[in-house]
Chain A
Amino acid sequence: MSQHELTVTVNGVCRRARVAARLTLVDFLRDELHLTGTHVGCEHGVCGACSVLLDGRPVRSCLLFAVQAEGAAIVTIEGLSPDPEGLGILQDSFWETHAQQCGYCTPGMLIAAHALLQRNADPSEAEIRDAISGNLCRCTGYQQIVEAVALAARRLRGVNVTEADEHGG
């Protein structure tokens, strides 16, 4: 049915496309722009795997039709890395604390955690758990993810520590 011209900024790059109204934002990002870092989990707004930043705020990209993002600035997991090969501090903290196993939820977790750390440099454990409460993980039991976000918060505040330092290793 209806087709629409779409102009959006994705990870700082202006992208133009013609999209069908029914195309979700996550399918647009993955299938049209080939940004496959954003994962599709449940496709009905339950799992959080497809989280992206829309004008700076985390949203579920399966619950938005691409056409609705006209004019918006979107940041996907690819946009959180300093370069295609490198890891940001938050991602490196996930790596260090073993905060992923299968990795399916990880992009969404990173987006949710990034949004938290943008507005709260020193979150409590409860605040971290609240921030990732919309993201399901079936492997880790969440504990290492919470540790990773706390570690990243300390590093981003300029406290230069490794997990081993903290545990006297």
Chain B
Amino acid sequence: MKAVDFDYECPASIDEVCRRLAVAGGDAKIIAGGQTLVPLMAMRLARPARLIDINRIAALQGIADRVNHVAVRACTRQAAALDHPAVRARVPLLAMALGFVGHDQTRNRGTIGGSLANADPAAEIGLAALALDAEIEAQSARGTRTIALELFFAGPMETALAPDECLTEIRFPVWRDGMIGTGFQEVSIRRSDFALAAAAVQIARDGAGTCRRIAIAVGGAAPTPIRIAAAERRLLGTRLEEADIDAAAAIVRETVAPLADLHASPAYRRRVAGSLVARALAEAAS
């Protein structure tokens, strides 16, 4: 249970990280909080020849509260984001999701960008980011680009990031019109374990209580977190009555394609995904 030997580097700037990634040609791995990478290295499922530590780069830390979004720098600790007033007030769905992420000890070290780059299909941060249509900023020696969240997750533990790219920022859009409601629900074996299935919902209603904007995302029920567009369409323009919510949950169960693992069967995950969406909708509408 010890990692194989590797070279360790701790650059002081993002540019330096990008230069080193470009030279390494895929042999290097970025380490942020290390809460997934270090266990993988201990079990020797990951054997990077070189670790590039981004923990000491000031430009990768912190949260900026902007007009249309809350920008979280990639190496911001999950605990810092959870406690941040702008996250709590303006992107409450992310704050709700973070409450389900790991434990005190792991949130103090684990980062927002690290969780996204790791792309576990059951991870809560990616689920909230997908529901909010977040944007990823990535930098390499070739330049900087923005990746829409819907194009970011490529499969289990796979993203659109190239081997020479460093995730630098995640921009979580703020919904500013209407009465905003959020819901986040999950089922896990023990508290703070990875979700067997999870649902994230955000709604905006007008003064009459009619749903004018909605996002529904499900995690742990497919190779990546997914949006359930058909359920969103079903609920737009409704007042989210019980029959509407039931219909949306049925659509969720028809749409998801869960994988099997030791912990739960696809049939269970499909059923529970629908129920969690129904609960999250009720939570958002309450």
Contacts and interface: CB of A to CB of B under 8 A. Distances in A.
Q: Do A and B come from one complex?
A: yes
A57 B106 CA distance: 10
A45 B5 contact: no
A58 B104 CA distance: 7
A115 B104 CA distance: 9
A1 B105 contact: no
Contacts of A64: 34, 38, 109
Interface string B3-19: 11111111000000000
Contact of A4 (B8, B31, B106, B109): B8
A63 B79 CA distance: 16
A93 interface: no
Contact of A51 (B9, B105, B191, B192): B105
Interface in B17-42: 31, 34-35, 38-39, 42
Given A62-B42, A64-B34, A2 B105 contact: no
B51 A21 contact: yes
A63 B43 contact: no
B43 A59 contact: no
Contacts of B106: 45, 60, 63, 134
Nearest to A3: B8
A59 B8 contact: no
A134 B3 contact: no
A68 B6 CA distance: 14
Contacts of B9: 2
B102 A134 contact: yes
Interface in A1-15: 1-2, 4
B109 A60 contact: yes
A140 interface: no
Interface range on chain A (Cβ under 8 Å from partner): 20 to 34
Contacts of A70: 10
A48 B105 contact: yes
B103 interface: yes
Contact of B8 (A45, A48, A51, A65): A65
B34 A57 contact: no
B38 A22 contact: no
From B4, B34, B104, B106, residue with most partner A Cβ within 10 Å = B104
A131 interface: yes
Interface of B: 1-10, 31, 34-35, 38-39, 42-43, 51, 53, 55, 79, 102-106, 108-109, 190-192
Interface of A: 1-2, 4, 20-22, 24, 27, 43-46, 48, 51, 54, 57-60, 62-65, 67-68, 70, 112, 115-116, 130-131, 133-134
9 contacts: A44-B42, A45-B35, A45-B38, A57-B79, A63-B38, A63-B39, A67-B8, A68-B55, A133-B191
Given A63-B34, A116-B104, A134-B103, 16 more contacts: A1-B5, A1-B6, A1-B7, A21-B8, A22-B4, A45-B39, A51-B105, A59-B105, A65-B34, A65-B38, A65-B51, A68-B53, A112-B104, A115-B104, A130-B104, A133-B103
